[in-house]
Chains A and B, each alone.
Chain A
């Protein structure tokens, strides 16, 4: 199917009444929950998952994508107005965004974020339209060898780009892989690590683990510091950027978009890398680098555009290869599997309406965000100031109902409670859970592809180095690992990531 007829199909799918409405609800709910302080993207998505359960696949996916963008957007609002980054990638937004808010320019910071995100979203969607079909047809030629190497690359990038030490991240990834092995072994039918419980024969449900660690774990961590939470929300006024603002933010938006589109495709942590490198780039190019950190609009517009562009293109590896690049995309895969869709290169040929409908609705969702958010920003600001003691019981209810309704399994609810405690523990010992979450989904895939490769080669591991694509991927992974040992990169990584803690 060529791009043009694909887009026509996509528009036809995305603009049906119910898809349009659910896209709108997704964006609205995503923003509403994403704006709440202390609720990150993964927690938001897992909390809102049950709203998509009863829907047909394409509608559910469109709504999920809407939730995802809404979450991203709501996160920047909280970052600007409250100086609270929902996740690492919006840390950069707090630097100048919150400074602007303190100076009474909150409206303009929000507008810069919204306009930058919309532009980036549009370009990102176009990029998906062009790149995804190419990559998907390319991916059909991949064998288990290439897939295994790609998975290794994904795990390595996620470890290198998390805050905290590499050793800790490596341990977290291994721990996630072990959790992923729980259940029936596909090849031999043996039950592994089930402790004799029939509930574990199908393995741990990915959404249950993610919801426990991120949703409930966040609640437990927040409750501990409840007394010390600041509740200062900056006032919003003067939404429209001046001519001077436009002039200062347009070039950063374009550059940020370019960076984000490219880095988002990287498996691992494209979003974080995109927003940090855009900030660094703008600071370097600016004629007034001293204004950065003191309320420079470039420092909001560029990284926000980069972040959103990367969020957009991070769908590419997920949709075309079936490999999640970020923990959030891993959760999206979990959601798709619940819907009975196996993401991968076949999705384009077997379910073109699903793929193209999603792509087109991404753009529609971004447009909705722009229209919705600028006028409604006052309402979101009010929502932010809801006290945490009212919020967290509701968060508990939504996550619990969500987890329960995946399989109507009470066992899953107990598991979520357990993983909530584990998530709290990881936070206390300074271990970032993202590599664990990725490894939980990538680990079983890695085992499967490793087995198949070595079965075909009769146990000869040199095939990983004789396939050019596999060799290239492994070299990139090795360079990344080595670069972290180099003092220069280490300094940049620490500077960039330490503030993410």
Chain B
């Protein structure tokens, strides 16, 4: 089954608007003169549900393009590599985390090949990043992470 663009977007809007509305109803509503924290969220999320419904209806009435998509892998790998960086940057330090992110993200490319040249390029890039961001720009990111001393490095 093909999912159309309008069906996907309308679905997202209706679902997120619906959840937001249910949550907003828990907040005190107040009056127009003294709005509670729920006032604006209720209005906006109701409008979002309505707009989403409109987009769904439009998708049924007019022909909406089907979502064509080619590769699942980058969608897992790239955000995964970014999340891995977050998980490990304080534990391994910036250069190693950058190295992991660079090589990890690179595997998402169709042209990826594990070679010495590319790996040493990534290592050099990590070293330059550490130098520029930590030494030159003074960003407070550890160069040596908290795990390394424990491992005897």
A residues lining the B interface (CB < 8 Å)? 50-51, 53-54, 165, 167-168, 170-171, 174-175, 177-178, 181, 185, 187-188, 190, 192-193, 216, 219-220, 223-227, 387-390, 392-394, 396-397, 400-401, 404-405, 408, 410-411, 413-414, 416-418, 420-421, 424-426, 428-431, 443, 447, 450-451, 454-455, 457-461
A454 B75 Cβ-Cβ under 8 A? no
A447 and B90 contacting across the interface, CB-CB below 8 Å: no
State which of A219, A220, A429, A458 has its C-beta within 8 Å of the C-beta of B8.
A429
In the complex, residue of chain A having the shortest beta-carbon distance to the beta carbon of B48: A174
Q: Can you name the residue of chain B whose Cβ is closest to the Cβ of A458? A: B33
Query: Chain B 65-90 against A: per-residue CB contact (8 Å), 1 yes, 0 no?
Result: 10101110011001111110111011
Asked if residues A396 and B71 are in contact (CB atoms below 8 Å), the reply is: no
Residue of A181, A387, A410 touching B41 (CB-CB under 8 A): A181
| B79: contacting residue among A50, A216, A447, CB under 8 A | A216
Instruction: Decide if B5 touches A428 in the complex (CB within 8 Å).
Output: yes
A178-B20, A397-B102, A428-B67 in contact; A187/B37 too (CB < 8 A)? yes
Given A178-B41, A389-B109, answer yes or no on A50-B137 (Cβ-Cβ < 8 Å): yes
Contact with A along B136-148 (1 / 0, CB 8 A): 0111110000000
Query: Could you tell me if B71 and A223 are in contact, using CB atoms closer than 8 angstroms?
Result: yes
Q: For the complex, give the distance between the alpha carbons of A322 and B34 in Å.
A: 25
Provide the bound-state CA to CA distance between A393 and B36, in Å. Answer: 46
In the complex with contacts A410-B90, A459-B31, A461-B32, A420-B79 CB distance below 8 A: yes
> Would you give the shortest CB distance from A303 to chain B, in whole angstroms?
29
Task: Please state if B125 and A171 are interface contacts (CB–CB under 8 Å).
Answer: no
Chain B residue at minimum C-beta to C-beta distance from A457? B33
The interface residues of chain B lying within 8 Å CB-to-CB of A424 are 75
Q: How far is the CB of A180 from chain B (nearest CB, A)?
A: 9
Give the residues in chain A near B16, CB-CB below 8 Å: 175, 178
Specify the chain B residue showing the minimal Cβ separation from A443: B44
Residues of B within 8 A of A216 (CB): 78-79, 82
Min CB–CB distance B72 → chain A (angstroms) = 10
Question: Is B89's CB under 8 angstroms from A171's CB?
Answer: no
Report whether B36 and A53 are in contact in the complex, using a CB–CB cutoff of 8 Å. no
B127 at the interface (CB under 8 A from A): no
5 contacts between A and B (CB under 8 A): A54-B138, A192-B24, A389-B112, A400-B101, A417-B83
B58 at the A interface (CB under 8 A): yes
**A413 adjacent to B111 (CB under 8 Å):** no
User: In whole angstroms, what is the CA distance A216 to B78 when docked?
Assistant: 8
CA A168 to CA B110, docked complex, whole Å: 33
Given A168-B55, A223-B109, A405-B133: A188 touches B28 (CB 8 Å cut-off): yes
Q: Is the CB of A224 within 8 A of B69?
A: yes
Tell me, rounded to whole Å, the shortest Cβ–Cβ distance linking A107 to chain B.
31
Least Cβ–Cβ distance between B57 and chain A, in angstroms: 10
Measured CA separation A219–B81 after assembly (Å): 13
Judge whether A455 and B109 touch: CB under 8 Å.
Answer: no
Supply 17 further A-B pairs (C-beta < 8 A) apart from A223-B109, A451-B39: A53-B137, A171-B51, A190-B37, A192-B24, A220-B79, A224-B74, A393-B101, A394-B125, A417-B86, A418-B79, A420-B79, A428-B69, A431-B9, A443-B44, A459-B32, A460-B33, A461-B32
Check B139–A405 contact: CB distance below 8 A: yes
Please report which residues of chain B, range 1-52, place their CB below 8 angstroms from some CB of chain A when the two chains form the complex.
Answer: 5-6, 8-9, 12-13, 16-17, 20, 23-24, 27-28, 31-37, 39-41, 44-45, 47-48, 51-52
B109 touches A226 (CB 8 A): yes
The CA of A170 and the CA of B110, in the complex, are separated in Å by 37
Report the minimal beta-carbon distance from B29 to chain A, rounded to whole angstroms: 11
A190 touches B9 (CB 8 A): no
A192–B79 Cα distance when bound, in Å, is 27
Q: B55 and A167: CB pair below 8 A? A: yes
Q: Assess A171 versus B48: contact at CB under 8 Å? Given A394-B125, A459-B33.
A: yes
> Nearest A residue to B88 by beta-carbon distance?
A410
Question: What is the CA–CA distance of A170 and B58 in the complex, to the nearest angstrom?
Answer: 14
A393 touches B106 (CB 8 A): yes
A389 touching B137 by the CB < 8 A rule?
no
A-B pairs with lowest CB-CB distance, top 10 = A459-B33, A413-B86, A459-B32, A417-B79, A389-B109, A223-B74, A190-B37, A185-B37, A171-B51, A429-B5
Q: With a CB–CB cut-off of 8 A, which chain A residues contact B131?
A: none
Known A167-B51, A190-B37, A216-B79; judge A177-B141 contact (CB<8 A). no
Give the docked Cα–Cα distance between A447 and B33 (Å).
13
